[in-house]
Amino acid sequence: MKIRTRLYFSSIITIVLVGLFFATQFYTNNKIETANKKHNLAYKIESTVFHLNMLTHEYLIYREERILEQWNSRYNSLAPILAAAGGGKEEELIISINQDYLVFNGLFSQVTANYAKRQKLLQEGASQEEINTLSVLEEGLAAQLLLKSQKIFSDTLKLTENLDTEIIDANNLATKLRIIFLLILGLFSITTTFIVSGVIVKSLDKLRKSAEIISKGNLEHKIDIKGKDEIGQVSRAFNEMTDKLKEFYTGLEEKIKERTEELSEERARLMASIRSLSFGFILCDLDDQILIKNPAVSRILGIQDGEITIDKIREYFKGAANLEIYHNQCLKEKRPVEIKNIGVGKKFFRLLLAPVIMLRDSEEVIGHILLIEDITEVKLLERAREEFFSIASHELRTPLTAIRGNTSLIQEFYTDKIKDKDVAQMISDMHEASVRLIGIVNDFLDVSRLEQKKTELKKEKFDMAALIEETINEVKGVASQKNLYLKFEPPLQSFFSVMADRGRTKQIIMNLLGNAINYTPKGGATIKIEPQGKYLKTYVTDTGVGISSENQTLLFRKFQQAGEKILTRNVTQGVGFGLYISKLLVESMGGTIELFKSELGVGSTFAFTLLVAS
C-alpha cells in the first residue's frame, strides 16, 4: 500500500474518532443540561411545597384572610411547575406528588369551609354541641392536611435527591466517555506513529545512507528498497539516476582525457610559439607574479633569467618611463597601453601592456601581459634613412633649382631663338620635371624635419575664411584645366579666427585640394567650416572616385596615396606624402585630421580641426 493511501486512511479514522468524541460530548452535555433543568424545577417544587406547609400551619393557627390569599397564590404557582417537571425516570414520583397535591388542595378547602361554617354558627348562636362537632371535624381535617403536607414535602425532597444523583451520573458518564475516547485516540496515534516510523522513517534512513554512499563517488551502489510505495519509487529513480551518472561520468572522463591531451598539445605549441618570439613576452597575475616568460626577455634586457621580476623590469625602465602608471592605466581602463620609443642607454624599446580579461559578463581582469620589443636597430635604420633622405634632398635641391631657373630663363628670354619645336618641348618638359622634383624634395625635407621635431611652427591669429578663399584662388587655375569647380561655403558668421601657423595651414588646405583635384574626374570640391567648442572644424568634400572601407585604415601613412585603390600606386600623383605631412602638421598645431566619410563612386570628405583664437 502506498504511503499516501495509508496516511489517507489514518486521516479518515482520526476524523471519525474525533466526530464520535464530539457526538458523545454533545449527548452527555445535553443529558446534563436536561438533568439540571429538572433539578431546578424540583428545587422550585420543594421551595413552593415548603412555603405551602408554612402557610398551612400559619393559617391553622391564625385563620387570617391574608394567609389564605398567600396560600392560594402559592398553590396556583405549583401547578405549572409540576406540569413542566413531568417525564423521565421520576414520572411516577411526580404523578404521586401531583395526586397528593390535589388531595392536599381538597383537604385545605374542607378545612377553610368548615372554619367558615363554624364561624357562621357562632354568629347565629347555635348550640355548643353543633359547634363542638364542627371543631372535632376540623381538627381531624387539619391532622390529615398536615400529614398530606408532610408526605408531599418528603416526596419533593426525594425527587430533588434523585435528580442530584442523575446529574452526578451524567457528569460521570461524560468523564468516562472523554477518558475512553482520549485513550482510543492516544492508542491510535501511537500505533500510527509506530507504523509510519517503521515503514517511512526506516526506509528514509536507508535511503539517506545510500545517498551518502553515492555522494562519495560509489556509483556501483544500489538502493535495496523494493516496495511499491513512494519511497520504493524514489529508490528506483535513484538507481536509474546512478546508472545514468555512471554512463555520463564514464563518457565525461574520456572527453576530459581527450581534452586534456589536446590542451597539453595546445599549451606545448603555445609555449613553443612564445619561446620563439623575437620580442619579450611576460604574463603576470594581479600580484605581479610572473607566470610565463620567454628567453627573449633576458636577452633583450640583459638580466639573468632567474633574476627577472616585474619590480626589476620597472627599475630598468625607471629613468625613461614610469611603468607602474601605465600598468594601473591598463588595468583600470581595461585596454592595451602602448609606450613607444623608450630610450635606455644606447637602446630603444617599444612596450605594450595589455589586460588579461576573463570572458564573463563582468569582464573581470585576472592579470596582464607585458611585451618588450628592442627597436634599436629599427631606430638606427630609420634615422639613417631619414639622414639619407635629408642629405639627398639637400644635395638634389641645389642642382634642381638651377635646372628650374635656367629652363625658366630659356623659356622667358630665348623662346624666339629656338626654331625647333621638339627642342622647345624638351625644355618645357625639363622645367615641369624640375618643378615636380623640387616639390618632392621639399616634401622629403618637410617629413624629415617634422618627424625629428625640428620644424618651428608659428602661433598666429588669422581669419580661416580669408585663408580658404585665398588658397582656392591660387589653385583654381589647375582645377579649371580639368573643368572642375572649387567653392567655399562660408557660414553665416563669416569671421572665424584660429591660432595656428598660417603658412602651414595653407599647405594643409593645398594638400587636401590637390588630392581632390587629382582624384576627381568630374564635378569638383567644396570647403565648409563650423565651430565645435574650442575648435574650428574644416571640411573638404570632393565628388571623386572615393575610397573603399577596407582601404580607409591605411590612410595618413608615409608614401600612401589617397586614391580608390590604396595598394596600387599612381606614379603621376606624387609619392604619397600629402596626407602624412598634413597629419604631422595638424597634430603639431594641437588639432586632429580624419577621413570624415567616403563612398566609392560618390566622393570623400576630409576634415581637420584647429584651436579657435581666444
Summarised one tens digit per residue, pLDDT across range 405-451 is 878 888 777 777 777 778 888 888 887 777 777 777 776 677 777 77
Strand, helix or coil at 540? strand
Half-sphere exposure of 505 (CA within 13 A, CB side): 31
The residue type of 566 is I
pLDDT at position 269 is 87
Q: How far apart are CA 575 and CA 255, in angstroms?
A: 59
Predicted confidence (pLDDT) at residue 296 exceeds the cutoff of 80? yes
Confidence of residue 180 (pLDDT cuts 50, 70, 90): confident
pLDDT at position 418 is 78
Predicted confidence (pLDDT) at residue 572 exceeds the cutoff of 50? no
- Residue 450: which residues within 8 A CB-CB, separation 6 or more? 581, 584, 585, 588
The residue type of 555 is L
Please tell me what DSSP assigns to residue 525.
Answer: E
Q: How far apart are CA 200 and CA 448, in angstroms?
A: 93
Confidence of residue 561 (pLDDT cuts 50, 70, 90): low
Of residues 75 and 471, more confidence is placed in 471
Predicted confidence (pLDDT) at residue 515 exceeds the cutoff of 70? yes
pLDDT at position 520 is 92
160-167 average pLDDT score = 78
Predicted confidence (pLDDT) at residue 293 exceeds the cutoff of 50? yes
Place of cell 599612381: 570
Tell me the angle at which helices 464-481 and 502-518 cross, rounded to the nearest 10 degrees.
30
The helix/strand count (H/E) of the chain reads as 14, 12
Q: How far apart are CA 581 and CA 457, in angstroms?
A: 13
Q: Per the structure block, which three cell numbers stand in for 614? A: 581666444
pLDDT at position 397 is 64
576-590 average pLDDT score = 84
Percentage of the residues of the chain whose pLDDT score is greater than 90: 14
226-253 average pLDDT score = 75
Confidence of residue 484 (pLDDT cuts 50, 70, 90): very high
Strand, helix or coil at 376? helix
Of residues 268 and 493, more confidence is placed in 268
Predicted confidence (pLDDT) at residue 566 exceeds the cutoff of 70? no
Alpha carbon 498 to its chain centroid, in Å, reads 52
pLDDT at position 277 is 86
The pLDDT tens digits for 123-137 are 887 777 877 887 788
Predicted confidence (pLDDT) at residue 33 exceeds the cutoff of 60? yes
Predicted confidence (pLDDT) at residue 216 exceeds the cutoff of 70? yes
Predicted confidence (pLDDT) at residue 239 exceeds the cutoff of 60? yes
Percentage of the residues of the chain whose pLDDT score is greater than 70: 88
Confidence of residue 571 (pLDDT cuts 50, 70, 90): very low
Predicted confidence (pLDDT) at residue 391 exceeds the cutoff of 80? no
pLDDT at position 53 is 81
pLDDT at position 15 is 84
Q: How far apart are CA 264 and CA 270, in angstroms?
A: 10
Predicted confidence (pLDDT) at residue 161 exceeds the cutoff of 50? yes
Residue 563 vs residues 451, 469, 518, 524, 584: alpha-carbon distances, Å: 24, 25, 9, 15, 20
Assign 3-class secondary structure to 382-420: HHHHHHHHHHHHHHHHHHHHHHHHHHHHHHHHCHHHCCC
Confidence of residue 569 (pLDDT cuts 50, 70, 90): very low
Predicted confidence (pLDDT) at residue 528 exceeds the cutoff of 90? yes
Please name each of the domains of the chain with its CATH number: 3-202 (1.20.1440.210), 277-373 (3.30.450.20), 381-451 (1.10.287), 460-611 (3.30.565.10)
346-368 average pLDDT score = 84
Strand, helix or coil at 362? coil
Strand, helix or coil at 13? helix
The answer to whether 238 touches 214, Cβ cutoff 8 Å, is yes
66-83 average pLDDT score = 80
Residue 59 vs residues 72, 108, 117, 152: alpha-carbon distances, Å: 12, 10, 16, 18
Please tell me what DSSP assigns to residue 224.
Answer: -
Alpha carbon 293 to its chain centroid, in Å, reads 40
Residue 355 vs residues 215, 337, 361, 374, 523: alpha-carbon distances, Å: 40, 9, 16, 21, 49
Of residues 157 and 516, more confidence is placed in 516
pLDDT at position 558 is 64
Of residues 519 and 6, more confidence is placed in 519
pLDDT at position 264 is 87
The answer to whether 607 touches 539, Cβ cutoff 8 Å, is yes
The answer to whether 245 touches 260, Cβ cutoff 8 Å, is no
